[in-house]
Amino acid sequence: MDNFAEIARQFVEKSGAVQVRDSKMLEKVLGELLTDQFQRAELGRNALLVVSENLGAIERTVEMILEKLKEREIYVVPTRVG
């Protein structure tokens, strides 16, 4: 999860994902999730909340970068995707 540490942290902190230390813990957590429908549903709901809280993150990041480029008077040709 090193490549996406911030979002992974949010999922774990908001109970939308479970991070395990080793294969033994993975086996335990998977067993619990397979047998506990309520726990699976709660994990899914919490994960969906994290996703919805982060919608538009790419657009906000691009806007921030463009603002910084403007401050340095670097011109970027605007393009519209989609």
Predicted structure pTM score: 0.67
- Which tokens sit at 14? 């908001």
CA separation for the pair 57, 62 (Å, rounded) = 9
Q: Where are the domains of the chain?
A: 2-71
What b/e string do you get for 53-82 counting C-beta neighbours within 10 Å, with b at 16 or more?
Answer: eeeeeeeeeeeeeeeeeeeeeeeeeeeeee
The pLDDT, as a whole number, for residue 81 is 65
What does the alpha-carbon distance between residue 69 and residue 33 come to, in Å, rounded to a whole number? 47
Q: Give the model confidence (pLDDT) of 15-69 as tens digits.
A: 999 999 999 999 999 999 999 999 999 999 999 999 999 888 788 888 888 888 8
Q: State the Cα–Cα distance between residues 52 and 64, nearest whole angstrom.
A: 20
With cut-offs at 50, 70 and 90, classify the pLDDT of residue 78: low
Neighbours of 11 (CB within 10 A): 21
Strand runs labelled E in the chain: none
Q: What is the mean pLDDT of residues 71-75?
A: 74
